[in-house]
Structure 1
Amino acid sequence: MTSHISVVVVDDDPLVRAGLRLILGGAPEVEVVADAGDGAEGVEVVRRERPDVVLMDIRMPRTDGIEATRIVSQSENPPRVIVLTTFDTDDMVLQALRAGAAGFLLKDTPPDRLVAAVRAAASGEPTLSPSVMHQLIAQVSRGGAAGPDGSERHTARRRMSALTDREREVAAVLARGRSNAEIAAELFMSVPTVKTHVSRILDKLGAANRVQAAIAIHDAGSP
């Protein structure tokens, strides 16, 4: 667990920013070091403050949260970005995850869960529930999200080439939204072995969670 967690809040609604400051201020190890009112300002603030976690609204003027997330995630030692939304539009969330977000939260998330999500993100843990991950992976499989551009496809294919044959088999099943137990049953493997393979797949694909891995697999045109 990170002993001190610095956070930047990026949202165009000053009331939302104030509310998030108030909520996170109740956690002794969490400090909101700065906030910003749009994506462009948010990028500058993140570069200056170098926080551990960024809470990023999706829809904002000038630079939206998806583009801001992409810029921030390409920086050296990037923070963990959690996108905030008042809606559950799968395509928007998937675009944010493809841009590098580590997870997402609805703006009406209860305070205790919000603080827990920030702690989890700072520790490198997933900030997407298994049920949400399954839904989003299914959306990717149906082709409902905006597809990758040439650069994204090239990067995904390069990373996929680093997988072993067995890891590719596991990745193909993971990309269909299957759990570790389901992967184990389909490929006649033990669950601990599957967990090891999944961990290596996430690392090689540069993915923070199973949704990002599924996106990368589909971006590469595989399976």
Structure 2
Amino acid sequence: MQGKILGDGIISGEDGKRYSFENSDIVNLSDFNCNLSGLEVDFIVDENQGKASEIFITSKKSIFPNIPFNSSDIESIKIKAYFGLVCKMFSFIPCIGVLFLITGVIFMIMALISLQKESNSNFLVKAYILSAVLSIFGVIIIGIGAVMGVVFGLGFVSGGVMLIILGFVLMIASFYFYFKYYKEMTNITNDPFFMYAFYCKVLWLFLKLILIGYLLIFIAVILEIIAWARFKDIKKLA
């Protein structure tokens, strides 16, 4: 029978029933040195005792064996989100900041894929990817425009300005999809802190050229971390 591990010693079978088990009943346990909650399994039912035996974990093995990235339970989703947020906090480092940003986006997409599956949302991942891609290209284009204006001299200033304007247009477009993403997150988690984080990011977009802009993006990150920390239940969407 197919099923999913709900927690310590409990499997939910595809028949809707729950079966107890011991870790010693898992045949390939050594391949999964992580939190087992949320992992999919194949097992044999002992009808007399209502237990599962000869259990095989069928979820793919994570490349990070000590972290439950393969699971879809709330704690696993939050861990992936935290990794994404931490990486994105280093996105302002010159030259290598974009690499941190891309890594953070990948971790966050991993978290959102699990969350979308559990919530039945049909737009969460798409909205985040569109917002992230537009934002990354916006930052890159603004950087190229600035380099053209400063390094290559006055002959390239007009072209550099046009690229910077284009970059800001892409950034503004990304915020539309950020709004859709944060709105969906608020609906799924019933937590307004996700929208608070979005409002701070909007203010940052218009004030990023002055010192207060950096303060706002820091506040936005803190608010988003708080939102993920407060996240306890997943609302099933229609």
TM over 0.5: no
Structure index of larger Rg:
2
TM range (shorter): under 0.3
Q: Which is helix-richer, 1 or 2?
A: 2
- TM-score, length of structure 2 as denominator length: 0.26
- TM-score, length of structure 1 as denominator length: 0.28
